[in-house]
Amino acid sequence: MSLVQFLVLGAFMFSLGVYGLLIRRNAVMVLLAIELMLNAVNLNLIAFEAALRTAFAGGQIFAIFVITVAAAEVGIGLAIVLLIFRNRRSANVDELDVMRW
């Protein structure tokens, strides 16, 4: 197996995540796209770990951390979306533009 194939796949997932980040209107869908990006990162990490074979499994541990942080981030993100939904009765990101000129 070549490393490149994993990287390309990861890049694909990442690009799709970027696409979703930029076009989705629903805040939850944006968060989903972000999760996709993080997943791509994980894939990269593990692929490199497998290619480099460090003695201390750094890539895998890093990936574990990413997963953990992603989980925390999703928790907080959804809490915020919840609050916004409570205040505004809508999760449409287009309407969240108070901090502007």
Partner 1 sequence: MVHATDGGWLAQWAWLIVVVPFLAMAVIVFFGKRMPRKGAEVAVAAMGFVFVYAAVLLILNITQGVIYEHSVQVAQIGSVSIEWGWVVDGLSTMMYFVVGTLSFLVFTYAIGYMKGDVRVTWFFAAFTFFAGSMLVLVSAPNLMQLIVGWEGVGLASYLLIGHYWEEKENSSAGMKAFYTNKIADIGLIIGAIVLGTAVGSFRYSDILDAAASNSSVLVPVAVLAGVLLFIGAMGKSAQFPFHVWLPDAMAGPTPVSSLMHAATMVTAGVYLIARMYPLYAGMASDMRVLIVIIGAITLLIAGLLAIVQDDLKRVLAYSTVSQLGYMVAALGAGGYTAGLFHLWTHAFFKGLLFLTAGSIIHAVHSNNMSDMGGLRKRMPVTFWSFTSASLALVAIIPFAGFFSKDEILATLGHSGYTWAMWIGILGAFITAFYMGRAMFLTFFGTYKGDAHVHESPAVMAVPMAILGVASLVAGWVNIPGVYEGFHHWVAVRAITFPSFASEGFDVPVMLTGLGFAIVGVIVAYVAYFRDADTQFARDRIRIPVLWPLLEHKYYLDDLYLAVLVNPIKGPIARAVNWTNSYIIDGIVNGAGVVARLVARFVYGDLDQKGIDLAVNTAAIVTGSAGEQTRRLQTGKVQQYAAMTVAGAVLLVIAIVIFT
Partner 2 sequence: MMGGWFAEASNWWFLLIAVFIAFSALRVVTATNVVHSALFLVGALAGTAGLFLLLGAQFVAWVLVLVYIGAVIVLFLFGIMITRAPTGPKVEVDHSRRGFAATAAVLTFAVMVYSSVSAFGHTEVTKVGTGTATDLIGTQLMGRFVLPFEAVSFVLLAALVGGVTLARRDTPGEGEEQ
Give the interface with partner 1 as residue ranges (CB under 8 A). Answer: 18, 21-24, 30, 93-94, 96-101
12 touches which of partner 1, partner 2, none (CB within 5 to 8 A by kind)?
partner 2
| Nearer to partner 2 (CB atom), residue 22 or residue 99 | 22
Residues that bind partner 2 (CB under 8 A): 1-20, 22-29, 31-33, 35-36, 39, 42-43, 46-47, 49-51, 53, 56-58, 60-61, 63-65, 67-76, 78-83, 85, 91, 94
| Nearer to partner 1 (CB atom), residue 1 or residue 76 | 76
Three-state DSSP at 26 gives: strand
Taking residue 63's Cβ as centre, other Cβ atoms within 10 Å add up to 19
97 touches which of partner 1, partner 2, none (CB within 5 to 8 A by kind)?
partner 1
Inter-residue contact 13 to 35 (CB < 8 Å): no
87 touches which of partner 2, partner 1, none (CB within 5 to 8 A by kind)?
none
Distance CA 96, CA 84 (A): 9
**How far is residue 56 from each of residues 5, 34, 47, 63, 67, measured CA to CA in Å?**
24, 29, 15, 13, 19
Taking residue 78's Cβ as centre, other Cβ atoms within 10 Å add up to 13
